[in-house]
Amino acid sequence: MDLKLKPFDFAQAVARAGLRPDGMPVARGYAAAEGASFQSAMAQALQSVSASQREAQTLQRELQLDNPSVSLEQTMVAMQKSQIGFQATLQVRNRLVQAYSEIMNMQV
């Protein structure tokens, strides 16, 4: 195993972080900021969890119908993936509700 280290390129690292060389954020248009909004990230995550659950349901149905192209292992893995995604989504929701409650209870 030959390990070669490349010299650190500060300008490239700063650019990857979205900063100018003086450390200030790079000014981006409104469309770029909107594309990376929390709402769109949450919507994408929920769609991903929903797709995972649909896939697991489809595999369960095919397994029950004795489809030879669907294995029990494949079905169980899909079910576990959908369950983990659902539990993670549930935890995010709980944290958001908790944060909202804390903010609402703050005194102004």
The domains of the chain are located at 37-108
Q: Report the b/e string of 75-108 with b at 16+ CB within 10 A.
A: beebbeebeebeeebeeeeeeeeeeeeeeeeeee
Residues 68-73 have a mean pLDDT of 92
Percent of the chain with pLDDT over 70: 86
In the structure, what pLDDT confidence band is assigned to residue 95 with cuts at 50, 70 and 90? very high
pLDDT tens for residues 11-35?
777 777 777 777 777 776 554 555 5
In this predicted structure, the answer to whether residue 104 has a pLDDT above a threshold of 80 is yes
Give the global pTM: 0.60
15-19, 48-52, 90-94: least confidently modelled range: 15-19
